């Protein structure tokens, strides 16, 4: 009996461990622009990133553990980046909260006054201002061009990424985010 109880307990732990590290099946959700989202092959180590906010205060990505993150690398001088920022703002306004957040990261040379002016001109109110002025985080994340968007799971691991812009407030993006939030 004791051996049977041990075997059952071991099996339960094994299934729980595998469920915790399993990658979500994104394939059914990759419709429209979301087809450009490339799922990761396997769960990796948690993404660590030190950024600064508009007041130059440090912001660590680990503070967002427990929620899905859509980390978007952008720049004020990048036309496709500028085009998708209002869509990301609307996505954050609709879904942002305890289970999901859009984190735009202005990487490289992006003067803070230019970022502020852009946010005001476009009416961006739901997105935080986050910066990676020395591109350390972008290099760590292997960002080679802009825009790049990285989907990070609640455990802090990259699960997918997209090179190029997308319609982040379209029905396909909303369905993806809703399914991720509901699956938690």
Q: The domain that contains 76 carries what CATH number? A: 3.40.30.10
Asked if residue 131 lies in contact with residue 12, where contact means CB atoms within 8 angstroms, the answer is no
Average pLDDT, the chain: 87
Name the domain count of the chain. 1
Using DSSP, state whether 148 is helix, strand or coil: strand
Burial 64-73 (b: 16+ CB within 10 A, else e): beebbbbbbb
Could you list the residue range(s) of the whole structural domain that residue 30 is in?
26-182
112 pLDDT above the threshold of 80: yes
Residue positions counted in the chain: 184
pLDDT, position 44: 74
- Residue of higher predicted confidence among 11 and 38: 38
Give domain status of residue 99, yes or no. yes
Give domain status of residue 15, yes or no. no
1 pLDDT above the threshold of 70: no
- Residue of higher predicted confidence among 183 and 13: 183
73 pLDDT above the threshold of 90: yes
């Amino acid at each position: 009996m004791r051996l049977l109880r041990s075997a059952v307990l071991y099996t339960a732990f094994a299934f729980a461990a595998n469920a915790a590290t399993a990658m979500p099946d994104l394939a059914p959700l990759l419709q429209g622009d979301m087809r450009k989202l490339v799922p990761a092959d396997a769960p990796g180590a948690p993404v660590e990133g030190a950024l600064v906010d508009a007041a130059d205060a440090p912001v660590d990505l680990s503070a967002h553990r427990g929620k899905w993150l859509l980390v978007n690398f952008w720049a004020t001088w990048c036309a496709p980046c500028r085009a998708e920022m209002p869509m990301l703002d609307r996505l954050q306004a609709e879904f942002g909260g305890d289970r999901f957040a859009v984190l735009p990261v202005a990487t490289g040379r992006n003067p803070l006054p230019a970022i502020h002016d852009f946010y005001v001109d476009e009416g961006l109110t739901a997105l935080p201002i986050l910066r990676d002025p020395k591109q350390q985080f972008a290099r760590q994340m292997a960002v080679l061009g802009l825009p790049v968007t990285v989907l990070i799971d609640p455990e802090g691991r990259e699960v997918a990424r997209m090179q190029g812009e997308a319609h982040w407030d379209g029905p396909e993006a909303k369905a993806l985010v809703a399914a991720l939030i509901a699956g938690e």
